[in-house]
């Protein structure tokens, strides 16, 4: 589930919400799952992974992560990303290009306060994506913190939100015989330009 907080009323955001509501009515699994592709300038390679989008606040799209993870390092090295949603229940794909940056402390702190205790323990205990000797060691680190709740009351400084602001949207609606409907929106000269694309 994605939480909409005073979402922008511009054309691409309105279209996203329309498709979101259709997918929600169709019981779309993992409706909040967004595939994000990033580029590492130091490694000269592209990586992709799914994240759970939590909020869209005006034109700011927000998810949360460990700030020392490989993807976070990619974002800080190169602040342009590609984002995709696939909602197969309604045969729709949504693509975006966006600029990404760390969310405000206020956004990160508010979200942390409203998460479950179990998730917040993991935010403290896990050095996300770092190698570890075994899964048992993961549980050991987790359970050690679980027994000392005071340590996890405050959000760790290496965990928080990332926000991205799209400057390009493409909406793909599948159709029989591959007569797919493709519409793009590009933010140019402070306004959204709509175009139709051939299938």
Distance CA 81, CA 155 (A): 26
Instruction: Tell me, yes or no, whether 128 lies in a domain.
Output: no
> Which domain covers residue 33, as residue numbers?
3-115+157-197
Distance CA 121, CA 36 (A): 25
Residue 62 has pLDDT above 90, yes or no: yes
* Tens-digit pLDDT profile for residues 108-123: 999 999 999 999 999 9
Instruction: Tell me, yes or no, whether 151 lies in a domain.
Output: no
Instruction: Tell me, yes or no, whether 106 lies in a domain.
Output: yes
**Number of folded domains in the chain?**
1
* Tens-digit pLDDT profile for residues 11-32: 999 999 999 999 999 999 999 9
Instruction: Tell me, yes or no, whether 185 lies in a domain.
Output: yes
Q: What is the CATH number of the domain that holds 173?
A: 2.30.110.10
Instruction: Tell me, yes or no, whether 20 lies in a domain.
Output: yes
Instruction: Tell me, yes or no, whether 60 lies in a domain.
Output: yes
Strands 55-57 and 92-102: unpaired
């Amino acid at each position: 589930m994605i939480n909409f907080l005073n979402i922008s009323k511009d054309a691409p955001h309105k279209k996203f919400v329309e498709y979101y509501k259709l997918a929600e009515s169709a019981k779309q699994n993992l409706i909040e799952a967004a595939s994000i592709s990033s580029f590492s300038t130091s490694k000269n390679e592209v990586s992709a992974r799914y994240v759970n989008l939590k909020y869209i606040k005006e034109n700011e799209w927000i998810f949360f992560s460990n700030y020392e993870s490989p993807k976070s390092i990619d974002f800080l090295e190169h602040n342009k990303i590609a984002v995709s949603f696939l909602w197969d229940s309604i045969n729709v794909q949504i693509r975006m290009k966006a600029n990404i940056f760390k969310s405000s402390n206020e956004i990160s702190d508010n979200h942390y306060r409203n998460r479950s205790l179990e998730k917040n323990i993991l935010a403290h205990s896990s050095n996300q994506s770092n190698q570890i000797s075994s899964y048992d060691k993961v549980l050991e680190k987790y359970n050690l913190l679980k027994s000392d709740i005071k340590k996890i009351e405050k959000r760790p400084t290496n965990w928080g939100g990332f926000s991205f602001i799209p400057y390009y949207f493409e909406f793909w609606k599948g159709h029989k015989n591959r007569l797919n409907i493709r519409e793009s929106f590009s933010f140019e000269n402070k306004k959204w330009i709509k175009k139709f694309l051939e299938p």
